[in-house]
Amino acid sequence: MFYLADEKQIKASRTTDVYFLRTVQILQAKGINKRVKMEVFLKNLPDSYKWGIFAGLEDLLRLFEGDPVDIYAIPEGSVFYEGEPVLTIEGIYKDFAPRETAMLGFICQASGIATKAARIKKLAGSKSVVHFGARRMHPAITPMIERSAYIGGMDGVATVAGAEAIGKNPVGTMPHALMLVVGDTVKAAKMFDEVISEEVPRIVLIDTFMDEKFETIRVAEELGEKLSGVRLDTPSSRRGNFRKIIEEVRWELDIRGYRHVKIFVSGGIDEDSVRDLADVVDSFGVGTSVSNAKTFDFSADIVEVEGKPLAKRGKCSGAKKLWVCDNCGNRKVTLMKEEKSMCERCGSPMRPLTVKYMENGKIIRDLPSAEEIREYVLNQVKDLSV
Ligand code: PCP
């Protein structure tokens, strides 16, 4: 019905670039069954990013489930830097060649989104950030986008399917459509309060018809204690000085005793606006800047053929492993075969971040929940700068 590839078609390599299928055809015809190691790494992070968040590993592993391959990777949610190996696949090349397109697609987009989300969350600090970007992207990938946004550090997601993917409840306020169809902000707020379950916070959209300050006062006087927050999605043509509008709303709420009412802003929010407004708002709804985050151009290259180091020009040969020092934070790349490594900076034993995830098509590790990955991300990025 729609122009999309379903899970079966992806598993059957219908979304692969045809040159991989032709390569397999040639290797089969000529009886070439060479065992290779293929490595995934990112040469350049986008913009001025200094670090990235590796995401999409779970989907990637599901893609290879049942294939005669072994996979080594850094855990999903790991911080990585330019040039570090994040994943290695070992097997007979013709057995997994057609997987390359889909495999990269899973991690390139998810890592771009998770990294952007981590940057936004870092800039927001203790203020919450909710993902509103599903509407900008193809609906078939909503769960992937929202999971990536969440594991990168966002506090919540807005769609039902996205929330299901992370095992949480969806987060939402009110659309302008409700205000317009009801015809008045306060009337719509009252109807929301009457009809919608008590567990859902009453966050009222106050930019539809009139001035944000006066609409806020009207809504606060009507709902009182029950009002959790007001959302300002002020159109750009009316924004002028958005910070001043927010400060004014805060002031008017406070002097009337509505200090408990939170201020939620949305509409075109990106890193700069989060940086500028984090001290005057409580929550951000962030859409396009996260869901449309720059994709990462991970590449997959053969680095060993039949156990011998061999790689194309511009790429270092030999399968590699990434190590971290838990004592001083130092990082190092060695050949995969190294079993231990000492930190040159502080002398402590280093820990391999690269670990085996798949043996002959079977996932051999428990995969963490989205919540666990998010915690892992937040913990790693807390001392990093954006
Ligand atoms: C919000 C706002 C933004 C949407 C969400 C996503 O929509 O208008 O445009 O944010 P983004 O600008 O960061 O992509 P609502 O106000 O809920 O939408 P509507 O106007 O349809 O009610």
Q: Given ligand 1 and candidates 132, 157, 206, 242, which is best to mutate, with the most ligand atoms within 8 Å of its CB?
A: 132
Whether 270 lines ligand 1, by a CB cut-off of 6 Å, is no
Q: Does residue 114 contact residue 377 with C-beta atoms inside 8 Å? A: yes
Kindly state the tokens that stand for 229.
């927050």
| pLDDT band for position 278 (cuts 50, 70, 90) | very high
What atom of ligand 1 comes closest to residue 268's alpha carbon?
A: 12
Helix, strand, coil percent content, the chain, rounded in steps of 5: 40, 20, 40
Assigned token pair, 114: 């998770």
What's the pLDDT band for 241 if we cut at 50, 70, 90? Answer: very high
- Distance in Å, CA 239 to ligand 1 centroid: 15
In contact, 48 and 115? CB cutoff 8 Å: no
C-beta of 85 in contact with ligand 1 (< 6 A): no
Query: Could you tell me if 131 and 291 are in contact, meaning their C-beta atoms sit under 8 angstroms apart?
Result: yes
Contact assessment for residue 139 and residue 296, using Cβ atoms and an 8 Å cutoff:
no
Burial of 326 (0-12, 13-18, 19+ CB in 10 A): exposed
Give residue 242's pLDDT band: very low, low, confident or very high (50, 70, 90): very high
Q: What is the pLDDT of residues 182-231, one digit of tens each?
A: 999 999 999 999 999 999 999 999 999 999 999 999 999 999 999 999 99
> Binning pLDDT at 50, 70 and 90, where does residue 360 land?
very high
Cα 115 to averaged position of ligand 1 atoms, centre (Å): 22
pLDDT per residue as tens digits for the range 166-189: 999 999 999 999 999 999 999 999
Res. 270 pLDDT band, cuts 50 70 90: very high
Atom of ligand 1 nearest to the CA of 174: 17
Query: Which pLDDT band holds residue 35 (cuts at 50, 70, 90)?
Result: very high
Ligand 1 pocket test target in 130, 203, 233, 239 with most atoms within 8 Å of CB: 233
Q: Which atom of ligand 1 is nearest to the CA of 231?
A: 16
Domains by residue range for the chain, with CATH: 7-113+295-381 (3.20.140.10), 127-291 (3.20.20.70)
Q: How far is the CA of 69 from the centre of ligand 1 (A)?
A: 44
Burial class (CB in 10 A: 0-12, 13-18, 19+), 344: exposed
Taking only the tens place, the pLDDT of each residue in 111-151 is: 999 999 999 999 999 999 999 999 999 999 999 999 999 99
145-172, pLDDT tens digit by residue? 999 999 999 999 999 999 999 999 999 9
**Whole-model pTM?**
0.97
